[in-house]
Amino acid sequence: MTLSALIQKRENATATVATPAAHNLNKAGAVAKVASVAVATQLFPEEETAIRAWLAHIEETYPVTIADVLAKCAANPDARAYCLEQARQIPPPLEPDYTATCGTCTHFQRIDHPNLGHCAQGEPEAIAGLWDTDRRWCRSFKQAPDKQEDSRP
C-alpha cells in the first residue's frame, strides 16, 4: 500500500530515513547513497484528544508547547506511546461534590433571620434551617453568579 493511500485511510504510516551503506560516501568505489524515505505520520483524533486532555491535566496551557508535543507525538512512536500512557493514568473526574457555604449557592433561600435559610434542592438540614456561612458537603451546590466564595478557612 502506498504512503498516500495510508494517509487517505487515516492510518498511521511510519517510515524512517535510510542509513547509508558506507560511512564515507565521497571515496571512489563507495556504495551509492541510499534515498531517504518520506515520513508521514499523524495522530488519530482520539489520540490527539487524549494527549490534549493530559496536557490540560498537568496545566500546560502554552500553545507553542502543546503544538510541539503534538508534533513530536505524531512523528515519534515512542513519544506518542509515552503521552498516551500518561493520558490513560489521568484519574476520572469526581462526581460534583463541593465543600460549600450555603450563602453563596443559587439554591439557598433566606428566611427572616439574617443568616439562616433553606435549601431549595431538599438537601438535609436542621429544623431551624441552614446557616449561610457553614461549610458543608453538598451535591447540589451551584455557585451564585453574584456571590463569590470567600477565601477564609
Nine-digit cell at 52?
490534549
Asked if 121 contacts 136 with a C-beta cutoff of 8 angstroms, the reply is: no
145 is a domain residue = no
User: What is d(CA 50, CA 56) in angstroms, rounded to the nearest whole number?
Assistant: 10
- Same-domain check for residues 114 and 82: no
List, for residues 54-80, the tens digit of each pLDDT value: 999 999 999 999 999 999 999 999 999
The yes-or-no verdict on residue 30 having pLDDT over 50 is: no
If one counts the domains in the chain, the total is 3
Which pLDDT band holds residue 102 (cuts at 50, 70, 90)? confident
Mapped to the 3 state alphabet, what secondary structure does 104-140 carry?
HECCEEECCCCCEEEECCCCCCECCEEECCCEEEECC
Does residue 125 sit within a domain? yes
Range of the domain at 54: 43-93
For the entire predicted model, the pTM comes to: 0.41
| 77-88 and 45-57 helices, crossing angle to 10° | 60
Tell whether 35 is covered by a domain. yes
